[in-house]
Amino acid sequence: MAGKKLSDLTIGVLALQGDFREHLHALQQLGAVALPVKTAEEISRVDALIIPGGESTTISKLLRLFNLFDLLKTRIHEGLPVYGSCAGMIMLASAIDDPASGQECLGAIDIRVKRNAFGRQVDSFESDLDIAGITGEPVRAIFIRAPWVESAGAKVDILASVLIEGKCHPVAVRQGSAMATSFHPELTGDLRIHRYFLEELVGVEI
C-alpha cells in the first residue's frame, strides 16, 4: 500500500461494542477518514480496521450474531491491515488461554493470550513503556483488565513487554499487517501508536 494518500483511504473502527469513539477521534486527529463499522458492506469497503477495547466475549458473539465474523476473518487473512487494542488484541489472537464459553478469535496474529492477565478491575494500572518503532518519550500505557501474550510464534515481532514479578510479558506485538496492544493508546491523547499503524502497516505518509 506504500505511496497511498491517507485522505484517499477509509479507516474503519469496529463499532459493535467498546471504546470505538476514542479510536475514531484519534484517527480523525491524524487526518484520517474514520468510519464506525457495523455492517458487512462497511467491512468490505474499509482499507484498514481497528478493533477497540471493550469486552472480547461480547465482540466475538456480536460478530457471529450479525453474520460478520467469517467476512472479517477472510478480509484479515487476505491482508486487511488491522490493529486491536486490549479486547481487540484478544480478537486478533490465534488462541485464548481461558476463553468464555462460545468465545472465538480471528487468528490474525500467532499469539496465545491470557485474558484479565494482570488481575481484576481494581488492578488496572498505568506504566511507561518503551515500544520498538516508537521514537521519543516512553509511551504512557493504560491497562484495564488487560490481556498479555502468553506465547508467540516465530513470525511475531514483540514490540513491548512488561516485567511482572520477574517475568516478561509481551503487551505489544505485530505480525505482517496486523498489530495489537494490551493497553489503550486511544485514552491518552498520544497519537504515536495510531500513527505507527497508519504509517507502517497501512503504508501512508502523514
Going by C-alpha positions, the residue among 63, 51, 119, 114 that lies closest to residue 87 is 51
Q: Tell me the three-class secondary structure of 141-204, residue by residue.
A: EEECCCCEEEEECCCCEEEEEEEECCEEEEEEEEECCEEEECCCHHHCCCCHHHHHHHHHHHCE
Judged by CB under 6 A, which of 87, 108, 201, 202 binds ligand GLN? 87
Kindly state whether residue 56 participates in binding ligand GLN, applying the rule CB under 6 A: yes
Kindly state whether residue 60 participates in binding ligand GLN, applying the rule CB under 6 A: no
Cβ proximity of 1 and 177 under 8 Å: no
Respond yes or no: is residue 186 known to be catalytic: yes
Q: Compare residues 122 and 154 and give the one whose CB is closer to ligand GLN.
A: 122
Kindly state whether residue 145 participates in binding ligand GLN, applying the rule CB under 6 A: yes
Q: Which amino acid is at 188?
A: T
Cβ proximity of 6 and 42 under 8 Å: no
Per-position DSSP letters for 23-41, written without gaps between them: HHHHHHHTT-EEEEE-SHH
Residues in 148-167 at the binding interface with ligand GLN, rule: CB under 6 A: none
Q: Compare residues 10 and 103 and give the one whose CB is closer to ligand GLN.
A: 103
DSSP 3-state of 56: helix
Judged by CB under 6 A, which of 17, 37, 48, 53 binds ligand GLN? 53
The active-site residue out of 22, 105, 169, 184 is 184
DSSP 3-state of 132: coil
154 Cβ contact partners less than 8 Å away, ≥ 6 residues apart: none
Respond yes or no: is residue 77 known to be catalytic: no
Stretch that binds ligand GLN, among 31-39, 51-59, 70-78, 198-206 (CB under 6 A): 51-59
Q: Compare residues 148 and 196 and give the one whose CB is closer to ligand GLN.
A: 148
Kindly state whether residue 55 participates in binding ligand GLN, applying the rule CB under 6 A: yes
Cell of 89: 488484541
Kindly state whether residue 144 participates in binding ligand GLN, applying the rule CB under 6 A: yes
Judged by CB under 6 A, which of 10, 94, 116, 127 binds ligand GLN? 116
Respond yes or no: is residue 150 known to be catalytic: no
Q: Which residues are catalytic?
A: 86, 184, 186
Chain residues binding ligand GLN by CB under 6 A are: 53-56, 86-87, 90, 115-116, 144-145
